[in-house]
């Protein structure tokens, strides 16, 4: 089965990083994932040149938005800058010709009604000029997360379904986050698809921690706690491009790709 497999890489020359791994897709950050500073393109010749180079080499680019973005929160001082940062990343990701912008589901505060978070997601989708697919990713931790457990993912999806631009919102399924977040990998692809109707991208990662531990710590394939057959089954069932966000560089990623391809 010909599943496209790539990795999360440094953004300085993503096309070269793809070549070093024999990959047809790569993902990267546009700057510091923990900062509210706007996106930066460090590719020497700029965004348009990167887009042209990736097209010429047949490499699909994906951009991962900063981790600190939380458009669901009831805290204005986080939600408002988060929306602004999301739009900035959307604009720059579109400039580099990315196939998708991945953003975490975020969370509301401990005592908040999750419904407020769902509605904030709807407002964020309404407010964002979605130029390329926006892929909401499931997360591993937190008690009041928007995209850890299935019922919350369903709440987000129902809320955004009425928003203008919702047709350009997709889903990124992270296997480490699903496992550590407490969603059985045996059924997660089917369960998510029932809610979202789509899985656009898989973040394929092993997990250093136990099922439902809530810990977001990725591991190389076979080095973590996920049953290898289940990891492979998710990739096969999802039928979407795969990004490995596993530790290491080209060498480790290449061996993770081989591990996965052997089992597929």
Q: Are 135 and 102 in contact (CB under 8 A)?
A: yes
Q: What's the closest the beta carbon of residue 64 comes to Zn ion, in angstroms?
A: 7
Q: Exposed, middle or buried, 153 (CB in 10 Å: 0-12/13-18/19+)?
A: buried
Closer residue to Zn ion, CB minimum distance, 174 or 206: 174
Q: What's the closest the beta carbon of residue 8 comes to Zn ion, in angstroms?
A: 8
Q: How far apart are CA 98 and CA 131, in angstroms?
A: 10
Closer residue to Zn ion, CB minimum distance, 95 or 174: 174
> What residue ranges in 70-164 does DSSP mark as E strands?
100-104, 134-137
Closer residue to Zn ion, CB minimum distance, 54 or 65: 65
Q: What's the closest the beta carbon of residue 119 comes to Zn ion, in angstroms?
A: 25
Please tell me the number of Cα atoms within 13 Å of 81 on its side-chain side: 11
Closer residue to Zn ion, CB minimum distance, 53 or 175: 175
Q: What's the closest the beta carbon of residue 44 comes to Zn ion, in angstroms?
A: 27
Q: Which residue is nearest to Zn ion (CB)?
A: 203
Q: Exposed, middle or buried, 192 (CB in 10 Å: 0-12/13-18/19+)?
A: buried
Closer residue to Zn ion, CB minimum distance, 105 or 117: 105
Site for Zn ion, rule CB under 5 A: 174, 203
């Amino acid at each position: 089965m010909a599943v496209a497999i790539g990795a999360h890489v440094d953004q300085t020359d993503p096309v070269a990083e793809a070549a070093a791994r024999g990959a047809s897709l790569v993902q990267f950050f546009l700057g510091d994932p923990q900062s509210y500073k706007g996106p930066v393109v460090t590719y020497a010749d700029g965004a348009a040149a990167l887009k042209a180079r990736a097209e010429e080499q047949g490499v699909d680019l994906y951009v991962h938005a900063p981790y600190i973005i939380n458009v669901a929160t009831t805290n204005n001082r986080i939600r408002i800058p988060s929306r602004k940062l999301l739009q900035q990343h959307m604009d720059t990701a579109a400039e580099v010709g990315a196939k998708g912008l991945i953003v975490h589901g975020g969370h509301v505060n401990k005592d908040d009604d999750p419904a407020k978070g769902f509605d904030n997601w709807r407002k964020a989708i309404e407010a964002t000029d979605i130029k390329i697919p926006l892929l909401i990713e499931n997360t591993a931790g937190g008690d009041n997360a928007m995209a850890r457990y299935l019922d919350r993912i369903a709440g987000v999806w129902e809320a955004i379904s009425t928003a203008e631009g919702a047709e350009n919102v997709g889903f990124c399924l992270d296997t480490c986050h699903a496992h550590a977040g407490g969603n059985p990998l045996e059924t997660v692809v089917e369960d998510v698809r029932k809610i979202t109707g789509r899985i656009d991208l898989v973040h394929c990662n092993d997990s250093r921690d136990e099922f439902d531990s809530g810990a977001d710590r990725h591991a190389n394939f076979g080095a973590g706690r996920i049953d290898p057959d289940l990891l492979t089954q998710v990739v096969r069932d999802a039928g979407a491009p795969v990004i490995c966000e596993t530790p290491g560089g080209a060498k480790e990623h290449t061996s993770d790709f081989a591990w996965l391809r052997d089992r597929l």
